[in-house]
Amino acid sequence: MLLKYGIKAGHLITGLVAGVMGLLFNKRPQTLRAKIRSYFVVLSGALLTGYITPLILLKWKWLLGAEYSVAFVVGLFGMGIVETGFIIVKKLKENPLEVINNIIDKINKLRRGE
Each residue's pLDDT tens digit, 55-102:
888 899 898 888 888 888 888 888 888 888 888 888 889 999 998 898
Cβ atoms 90, 83 nearer than 8 A: no
Per-residue confidence (pLDDT) for residue 13, from 0 to 100: 84
* One-letter amino acid of 60: W
Cβ atoms 57, 70 nearer than 8 A: yes
Per-residue confidence (pLDDT) for residue 1, from 0 to 100: 60
Residue 2 pLDDT level (bands cut at 50, 70, 90): low
Each residue's pLDDT tens digit, 31-64:
888 888 888 888 888 888 888 888 888 899 898 8
pLDDT for residue 5 is more than 80: no
DSSP state of 25: T
* One-letter amino acid of 44: S
